[in-house]
Amino acid sequence: MKTEESCIRDCANVIQINEAIVELNQVDEDLQSVAAILNLAGNETRIKILYLVHHYSEICVCDLSDMLNLSVSAISQQLRKLKDGELLTSSKIGKTIFYKISPEKKEIIQLILSLSNHSSINKKHEILSL
């Protein structure tokens, strides 16, 4: 806990500081989760994959490979990271594996994608959420 004696400022808001420390302790796990998600989404290829999977609801690795002009192996590596981070889920139909946004992470993925200032991306997200 913070005390007035431990601050070099004349006007420390000790009550606010102590409340913030308690609150941060209460939400620490949630903030760690958000940081991990942002860390995963912070890669250009992975954010493009998330955008495409979100936009098309579900998509296979081969289609992503063609769309992003990257090898199936390169896309698979990124999909594995997103799946391990629980941002994506997969289902197999025949020999094809389809990926989609994890239902539990859909809102945060929408939020991350909405951070773009690009109007066409924002318009597509508005349409998708209707």
DSSP-assigned states of every residue in 60-77:
EHHHHHHHHT--HHHHHH
Domains of the chain are: 1-41 (no CATH), 44-128 (1.10.10.10)
Mean pLDDT of the chain: 86
Which residue(s) pair with 89 in the sheet? 100
Q: Quick one: average pLDDT of 95-116?
A: 92
46-97 pLDDT, tens digit per residue, is 999 999 999 999 999 999 999 999 999 999 999 999 999 999 999 999 999 9
Percent of the chain scored above 70 by pLDDT? 82
Predicted confidence at residue 12, as pLDDT, reads 75
Global pTM value: 0.75
Position 92, amino acid: K
Residue 128: HSE in the Cβ half-sphere, 13 Å Cα cutoff: 20
Q: Is 58 exposed, middle or buried (0-12, 13-18, 19+ CB in 10 A)?
A: middle
